[in-house]
Amino acid sequence: MSNDFYSPAVIKTHFLAFKEFLESQDNEPKRQRGAKEKLIKLTNQQFQELSTDVYDELIRRTYNSRDFDCLQSQSEFQPKRNEARAKLAALSHTRYRDLSQDIYNEIQRRFPNIVSEVENNIENSLEREYNVSPVDKINNNDSPKPIQGLNSSQNSVTDQQQTSNQKINLSPLDNVMANLKELTVKNENEKPNVSEASQVNEAEIAELKKANTLLKSKFDSLTEKYNTEKNRLEKELESVQETLTNRVKINEEQAVEYSKLYNNYTQLQTDIKTLRSQTEVNEKITGELRQENDNQIEKINELTKKNETLENENKSLKEEIEKLKNELKEEKEKKIEAAKTAPSPAPSQAKEQESKASPIEKEDKPETPQTPKKTPEISPTNEIRSPKGIKPVPTEPEPEKPAVRDCINPERFNHYREAVNELIEASKSENPADVLVAMKSIVITCKNITEESDEYERLNENTFTDEEQDKLIEIKNNLSVALTNLMSVTKNHATNYPNVSSSFIESAASDLSVTIVSLVRTLKEHQNRLLNQGSSPLQQPINQVNMDEFISNNKQAYNPQELKHFLEEKTDLIVQGIQSLLFKIQQSNATYEEFNGDIGRITSIVDNVINASQDTFTSPVGSYLFNDGEPILQELKMGNQRLKEMGLSMQNKSEQEIKATKPNLASASYEIAVYVRDLLELLG
The pLDDT score that the predictor gives to residue 265 is 94
Could you tell me if residue 462 is inside a domain? Answer: yes
Could you tell me if residue 56 is inside a domain? Answer: yes
Rounded (5°) CA angle 414-419-421? 95
> Hey, what amino acid is at 49?
E
Pair (571, 425) in one structural domain: yes
The pLDDT score that the predictor gives to residue 186 is 52
Pair (98, 232) in one structural domain: no
Q: What share of the chain is helix, strand, coil (3-state, %, to 5)?
A: 75, 0, 25
The string of DSSP codes covering 187-238 is HHHHHHHHHHHHHHHHHHHHHHHHHHHHHHHHHHHHHHHHHHHHHHHHHHHH
**Total domain count, the chain:** 3
Rounded (5°) CA angle 139-144-147? 70
Pair (321, 432) in one structural domain: no
Rounded (5°) CA angle 152-157-162? 125
Pair (523, 626) in one structural domain: yes
Give the domain extent around 108. 8-134
The pLDDT score that the predictor gives to residue 85 is 92
**What stretches in the chain show pLDDT beneath 70?**
1-4, 26-34, 65-66, 127, 129-200, 207, 342-406, 534-556
Q: How far apart are CA 532 and CA 463, in angstroms?
A: 13
Please report, for residues 576, 603, 608, 639, 673, the alpha-carbon distance to residue 645 in angstroms, rounded to integers and kept in the order given.
21, 11, 18, 10, 18
Contacts of 168 (CB under 8 A, 6+ apart): 157, 160
> Hey, what amino acid is at 23?
E
Domain boundary among 134, 150, 167: 134
> Contact 452/407 with Cβ under 8 angstroms?
yes
> Contact 427/502 with Cβ under 8 angstroms?
yes
Could you tell me if residue 156 is inside a domain? Answer: no
Could you tell me if residue 343 is inside a domain? Answer: no
> Hey, what amino acid is at 182?
E
Rounded (5°) CA angle 447-452-455? 125
Pair (100, 245) in one structural domain: no
Pair (583, 653) in one structural domain: yes
Rg (CA), the chain: 64
Q: How many CB atoms neighbour CB 523 within 10 A? A: 23
Q: How far apart are CA 19 and CA 447, in angstroms?
A: 110
Domain boundary among 288, 318, 337: 337
Torsion 167-172-177-182 (CA) sign = positive
Could you tell me if residue 353 is inside a domain? Answer: no
Contacts of 377 (CB under 8 A, 6+ apart): 384, 385
Pair (585, 660) in one structural domain: yes
Q: How far apart are CA 337 and CA 311, in angstroms?
A: 39
Please report, for residues 103, 223, 224, 531, the alpha-carbon distance to residue 213 in angstroms, rounded to integers and kept in the order given.
35, 15, 16, 134
Pair (323, 414) in one structural domain: no
> Contact 494/435 with Cβ under 8 angstroms?
yes
Domain boundary among 84, 113, 134: 134
User: Facing residues of 385 across strands?
Assistant: 377
Pair (130, 212) in one structural domain: no
**Cβ-defined contacts of 550-555 (< 8 Å, 24+):** 550/417, 550/420, 550/509, 550/510, 550/513, 551/510, 551/513, 551/514, 551/517, 552/510, 554/514, 554/517
* Alpha helices per DSSP H over 386-433: 410-427
Closest CA to 477 of 354, 330, 644, 640: 644
CA atoms within a 13 Å half-sphere pointing along the CA-CB vector of 479: 22
Helix 466-496 vs helix 171-341: angle between axes, to the nearest 10 degrees? 140
The string of DSSP codes covering 109-164 is HH-HHHHHHHHHHHHHHHHHHH---HHHHHHSTTS-HHHHHHHHHHHHHHHHHH-T
Could you tell me if residue 396 is inside a domain? Answer: no
Could you tell me if residue 393 is inside a domain? Answer: no
Each residue of 251-309: pLDDT tens digit?
Answer: 999 999 999 999 999 999 988 988 888 888 878 887 877 787 788 788 778 888 887 88
Tell me which DSSP letter residue 499 carries. Answer: S
Rounded (5°) CA angle 184-186-187? 65
The pLDDT score that the predictor gives to residue 649 is 83
Could you tell me if residue 188 is inside a domain? Answer: no
Q: How far apart are CA 49 and CA 34, in angstroms?
A: 20
In the chain the first and final C-alpha atoms are separated, in Å, by 80
* Main-chain phi, psi angles of 637, to 5 degrees: -60, -45
Q: Are strands 384-385 and 377-378 parallel, antiparallel or unpaired?
A: antiparallel
Please report, for residues 151, 249, 259, the alpha-carbon distance to residue 254 in angstroms, rounded to integers and kept in the order given.
97, 8, 8
Pair (416, 561) in one structural domain: yes
Tell me which DSSP letter residue 559 carries. Answer: P
Pair (331, 432) in one structural domain: no
> Contact 98/29 with Cβ under 8 angstroms?
yes
The pLDDT score that the predictor gives to residue 556 is 52
Please report, for residues 251, 508, 668, the alpha-carbon distance to residue 255 in angstroms, rounded to integers and kept in the order given.
6, 45, 36
Each residue of 95-119: pLDDT tens digit?
Answer: 999 999 999 999 999 999 888 888 8
Pair (462, 605) in one structural domain: yes
The pLDDT score that the predictor gives to residue 250 is 94
**Backbone angle region of 388, left / alpha / beta, with phi > 0 → left and psi within -120 to 50 → alpha:** left
